[in-house]
Amino acid sequence: MNIAIIGTGNIGKGLLAALSRTTHTVSAYGSADDLSPVAAAEVVILATPYGVAGDLAQQVDLAGKIVVDLSNPITADFGGLQIGHDTSAAEETAAALPGATVVKAFNTVFAQHYAGDLTVNGQPIQTFVASDDAEAAAIVRDIATAIGFEAVDAGPLKNARYLEPLGYMNIQLGYMLGRGTGIAPRWQAAA
C-alpha cells in the first residue's frame, strides 16, 4: 500500500518510522511542501493539527483517497475541546474533503510510543478506528496491526465525537495530571 503522511511533527515522524518497518511504501510531507506527490498515495494520514483540512484541499485533490484523521480539536490553552457532541474533527475533515473517505484513528496515542514496540505493560496499545466505509476502516485496521497496534473497530465516523474526548482525556492524564506519556487507553473484555 502506498501511504503518504502529511505532517512532520512528532507524530508524523513517529508514524513514518513505524510504517517504514512494514512492507508499505511510505513518505512524509510538511504541510508547506509541494504535496503533488501525495496524489499517488492510496492512503493519506493527516498528522496535522485540527482545522488544516480545508487548506490541504486547496493544495492537493484527495478525492478517492482514504484519509486518516488523527487530530484532536483541543483549544490552544489545552483547557478543552473546540468542538464536540454534535460533530467532530473527523466529520469536519470529511466535510472539507469531498470525495475522500475519512477514517478516524491513532488520536489516542502519544507520539513517544512510536519509538518503541507500541505496547504498555506487555500489551499492544489499542487504536480505535471509526469510519462510515467498512472497507476503508478494514484497510486502516490492517495498517495499524502491521505496525503493532491492536486495532479496535469503533463503528461509524460519528463515533469520533467520543474518540476525540478520549484523546483529550489521555492528554490530561499524561501531561496535566502527571502520569507521563507511557500511558494509553485500553478497553478490556471480561474473561
Domain ranges in the chain? 2-176
2-176: CATH topology is: Rossmann fold (3.40.50)
Cell of 57: 484541499
Confidence of residue 33 (pLDDT cuts 50, 70, 90): confident
Give dist(CA 99, CA 156) in Å, integer: 17
Q: pLDDT digit string (tens) for 48-69?
A: 999 888 898 889 999 999 999 9
User: What residue type is assigned to position 74 of the chain?
Assistant: I
Q: pLDDT digit string (tens) for 74-93?
A: 999 989 999 988 999 999 99
Q: What is the mean pLDDT of the chain?
A: 95
Q: What is the pTM of this model?
A: 0.96
User: What contacts 121, CB < 8 A, 6 or more positions away?
Assistant: none
Cell of 182: 507511557
Residue 191: pLDDT above 80?
A: no
Note the pLDDT of residue 70: 96
Note the pLDDT of residue 85: 87
Nearest to 128 by CA among 94, 95, 102, 164: 164
Any idea how long the chain is? Answer: 191
Q: pLDDT digit string (tens) for 140-158?
A: 999 999 999 999 999 999 9
Beta partners for residue 5, in sequence order: 28, 45
Residue 159: pLDDT above 80?
A: yes
Confidence of residue 190 (pLDDT cuts 50, 70, 90): confident
Note the pLDDT of residue 84: 87
Confidence of residue 125 (pLDDT cuts 50, 70, 90): very high
